[in-house]
């Protein structure tokens, strides 16, 4: 998918919502736990309920990997289900991978060929050759961690470098030359909304994937104020606040209502 | 496993070899490809052939993940096989994971409970809370990327910070306070052997996992000269040079001969 196609879909749906499928088995509605594939069953219901209000789904791979091969199988089925039922949807595997080039090539294969998602989150620590294999797939995206929303992002990400820039700023500056606005986007934690203006000076045209709306703090109004660009340029992720808003048998309807709020917010803010 | 137990095993086997199970399907001996689980069959043969000369096995998860759930199942069987057949062996999942704390907890569960390896490689980019969940399992290890052996490590890892240190040096200094020499070790690329002396000033007592011996360059003599500490403190990884030295039906014997060279080297160098 190109950034233009993603932009058009955002306009069509009047939403920049990305629903995070952080399907933690310990938080699932109790009545699903006896099913043979509880994560997949939960995801299907959430996907059907929220697809009208979202442009992207983002399964976080950790929640599937915790169950080993059976978890992976449910992740694969989830991606297939989205692909078949909502072919226009942008699918991000939140995997935070990265390895030396000849090994990253295999991760790219795992997510872009075996699984066929649109985008994968990657750690930038090892540099260009760890990212390059993901950029060689037409229409696919690398989503690089720049400034994350956790408290420990101050350990390294915001350290000042000798030249005056912070590490995450240099990550943005250096890595944006590795690809284009059509195959690289960045994770920028919304708890740092005041930094978004600075970030937009470095990468005015890239899409940003913004986690941390809700449970992790963050203020959507600030994000829009400082982060919006000509193509909207924002995917705003919400996970727990939508998918675990209700653990009763009516969880999917509640998730739909929570997701719909983002459409209202989009209309009022953008 | 404690660092003392690992040290004792190194002395007993006269080897610091870690065999990297980078089981790339495109490089497997042709006669294995028709088997139902070619990666697992290959691994079993390599493990049996080299276990006498190695203290650790390190499957790189990318090579399994590329095959989806079926690849994960073969990875799980590989780990189970090592655990059952060679219970003293140190098993490292080379996964290069890392996420916000509540998600990293699930990765720790994936590798330490569902799969039961001894150690997982992690990217330090997101800071302490992305590593902490791995340190809460008794006897298990986080193996943090510090200085990797790929050319692109110069993009960020070796950047000078405002205080004068390089990024990877600050990663070593900061993160070594998060745990102990019994639950943290570091990936230090052997192509930077001259930097090992500096690294040893920062972390004199930690174990180092040294990749890049062989195909990626690197000089074992230099690594030992600058990296050895009182407990040996080195796990030297070799992957392709051992497991793909021969693609004939005699591949396992050839792998054994290649692995045995590391015992001779250990005896002459340590």
Q: What is the pLDDT along chain A (270 residues), one digit of tens a residue?
A: 999 999 999 999 999 999 999 999 999 999 999 999 999 999 999 999 999 999 999 999 999 999 999 999 999 999 999 999 999 999 999 999 999 999 999 999 999 999 999 999 999 999 999 999 999 999 999 999 999 989 999 999 999 999 999 999 999 999 999 999 999 999 998 766 778 999 999 999 999 999 977 644 458 888 999 999 999 999 999 999 999 999 999 999 999 999 999 999 899 988
> What average pLDDT does the structure give for chain B?
95
pLDDT tens readout for residues B228-252: 999 999 999 999 999 999 999 999 9
Q: In the numeric block, which tokens belong to residue A269?
A: 């803010």
Q: What is d(CA A219, CA B229) in angstroms, rounded to the nearest whole number?
A: 50
Chain B residues within an 8 Å CB radius of A127: 150-157
Question: What is the rounded radius of gyration, in angstroms, for the C-alpha atoms of chain A?
Answer: 18
Here the ipTM equals 0.96
pLDDT tens readout for residues B90-131: 999 999 999 999 999 999 999 999 999 999 999 999 999 999
Q: Is B114 touching A (CB cutoff 8 A)?
A: yes
Partner residue opposite A156 with nearest CB, options B62, B104, B127: B127
Dihedrals phi, psi of B76, to nearest 5 degrees: -60, -40
What is the pLDDT averaged over residues B170-199? 92
Closest residue by Cα to residue A112 from A78, A138, A87: A138
In whole angstroms, how far apart are CA A194 and each of A149, A152, A191? Answer: 13, 18, 8
Amino acid B270: pLDDT = 86
Q: What percent of chain B has pLDDT above 70?
A: 97
Q: Å from B185 to nearest chain A CA?
A: 17
Amino acid A215: pLDDT = 45
Partner residue opposite B68 with nearest CB, options A115, A126, A154: A115
Report the number of secondary-structure helices (H) and strands (E) in chain A: 12, 8
Burial B78-98 (b: 16+ CB within 10 A, else e): bbebbeeebeebbbbbbbbbb
pLDDT tens readout for residues B151-161: 999 999 999 99
Amino acid B218: pLDDT = 54
Contact A150 B101 (CB under 8 A): yes
Given the residues B13, B27, B77, B96, select the one marked as catalytic.
B96
Query: Using CB atoms and an 8 Å cut-off, which of residues 180-209 of chain A contact chain B?
Result: none
Which fold is adopted by the domain B3-269? TIM Barrel (3.20.20)
CB pairs < 8 Å spanning A and B: 193
* Sign of the four-CA dihedral A162, A163, A169, A174: negative
Lowest mean pLDDT among A138-147, A249-258, B21-30, B260-269: B260-269
* Residue B214 confidence (pLDDT) above 70: no
Domain ranges of chain B: 3-269
**Residue B27 annotated to the active site:** no
* Sign of the four-CA dihedral B25, B26, B28, B30: positive
């Amino acid at each position: 998918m190109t950034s233009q196609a993603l932009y058009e879909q955002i306009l069509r749906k009047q939403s920049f919502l990305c629903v995070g499928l952080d399907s933690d088995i310990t938080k699932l509605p109790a009545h699903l736990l006896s099913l043979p594939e509880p994560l997949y069953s939960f995801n299907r219901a959430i996907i059907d309920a929220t697809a009208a209000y979202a442009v992207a789904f983002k399964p976080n791979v950790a929640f599937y990997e915790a169950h080993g091969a059976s978890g992976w199988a449910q992740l694969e089925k989830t991606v297939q289900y989205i692909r078949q039922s909502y072919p226009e949807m942008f699918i991000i595997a939140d995997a935070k991978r990265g390895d030396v080039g000849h090994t990253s090539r295999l991760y790219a294969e795992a997510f872009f060929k075996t699984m066929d998602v649109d985008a994968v989150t990657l750690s930038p620590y090892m540099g260009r050759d760890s990212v390059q294999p993901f950029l060689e797939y037409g229409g696919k995206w690398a989503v690089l961690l720049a400034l994350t929303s956790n408290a420990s992002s101050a350990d390294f990400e915001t350290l000042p470098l000798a030249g005056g820039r912070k590490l995450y700023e240099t990550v943005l500056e250096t890595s944006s030359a590795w690809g284009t606005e059509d195959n690289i986007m960045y994770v920028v934690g919304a708890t740092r909304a005041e930094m978004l203006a600075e970030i937009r000076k470095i990468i005015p045209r890239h899409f940003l994937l913004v986690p941390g709306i809700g449970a992790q703090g963050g203020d959507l109004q600030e994000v829009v104020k400082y982060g919006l660009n000509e193509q909207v340029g924002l995917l705003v992720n919400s996970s727990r606040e939508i998918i675990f808003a209700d653990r009763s048998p009516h969880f999917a309807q509640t998730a739909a209502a929570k997701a719909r709020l983002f459409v209202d917010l989009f209309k009022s803010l953008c």
